[in-house]
Amino acid sequence: MTDFEQKRPIRDSSLISKEDKKRMDAHPEKRIFSKEEIERRCEKNGQNHSIVFGQSEIFKEYQKQQKWFKENLGIRLVVEPWQIESKTPDAIRVFVEAGHRKGTVKIESTFIDKVGENFELHLNNFSKFKFFKRENQNYSSILLGKEIIGQLSKENERIPARKNYGMNYVHDLFEATNLLSRHGISGQESFKHLGEEFITNMEKVELALEQLDKEILTQTERVKFNQGNPQLIEQLKQLQ
């Protein structure tokens, strides 16, 4: 990793999608990142030069992706003053629990807006932050934005406002299609690379929308019988 220190090994199951992991569990002899499978894939890539990318091109695409992540912060959450451990002119530190470990995460001011007495975080699921263990400040690991948002929202009972997941996915799909197209892969061949993942993701979007509809109906009922409760009304607005 060029942007974070990598001190521990990582399992191959952490590098792949859940669907690939299920297939891998069913057929352990076909582990995607086994030495044999990597050699087989390299040989196949060598025979088809149109899908082999140079190091500089991979790095360029990576930088482009990271820039997009920073510019498209799809989750917004209000953080209350009691949730903040310390403040500096350019960052805040918030307490988090990562499994059995307790510590703090530093969030730079580029991800924060001041709203009255509160702070409004603007992150995305894959924003990366260093986690510092409370007992040992020299120990650090990485936490994702979704983990931090999940804990903070549970503490203050505020519902995170999220951008449309489906539109973010469509953006990623077009980027992937354009990348393949620049290397002469289009039409049916392009669909072989992206079609299965597209269908799987759209099914997830449909399920998420159904779940959201149910939550809105439930929250509407709560507000109906508690119309003087500003917190319930705010939660309904966030869901809508």
Cβ-contact 190, 177 below 8 angstroms = yes
Residue 219 has pLDDT above 60, yes or no: yes
Burial 99-129 (b: 16+ CB within 10 A, else e): eeeebbbbbeeebbeeeeeebebbbbeebeb
Cβ-contact 81, 92 below 8 angstroms = no
Higher pLDDT residue, 220 or 5? Answer: 220
Q: Indicate the helix (H) or strand (E) that contains 115.
A: strand 112-115
**Mean pLDDT across the stretch 51-70?**
76
Number of helical H runs and strand E runs in the chain: 7, 9
What pLDDT does residue 170 have?
66
Across all residues in the chain, what is the average pLDDT? Answer: 77
Higher pLDDT residue, 135 or 25? Answer: 25
Partners of 105 in the β-ladder: 94, 131
What pLDDT does residue 178 have?
74
What pLDDT does residue 223 have?
86
Quick one: which of 172, 178, 240 has its CA closest to 201? Answer: 172
Q: Pairing mode, if any, of strands 101-108 and 91-98?
A: antiparallel
Lowest mean pLDDT among 19-28, 81-90, 158-167: 158-167
Q: What's the rounded Cα separation, in Å, for the pair 125 and 117?
A: 25
Q: What secondary structure letter does DSSP report for 125?
A: T
Residue 50 has pLDDT above 70, yes or no: no
What pLDDT does residue 16 have?
78
State the CB neighbour count (10 A cutoff) for residue 178: 9
Dihedrals φ, ψ of 112, to 5°?
Answer: -130, 140
**Mean pLDDT across the stretch 25-51?**
79
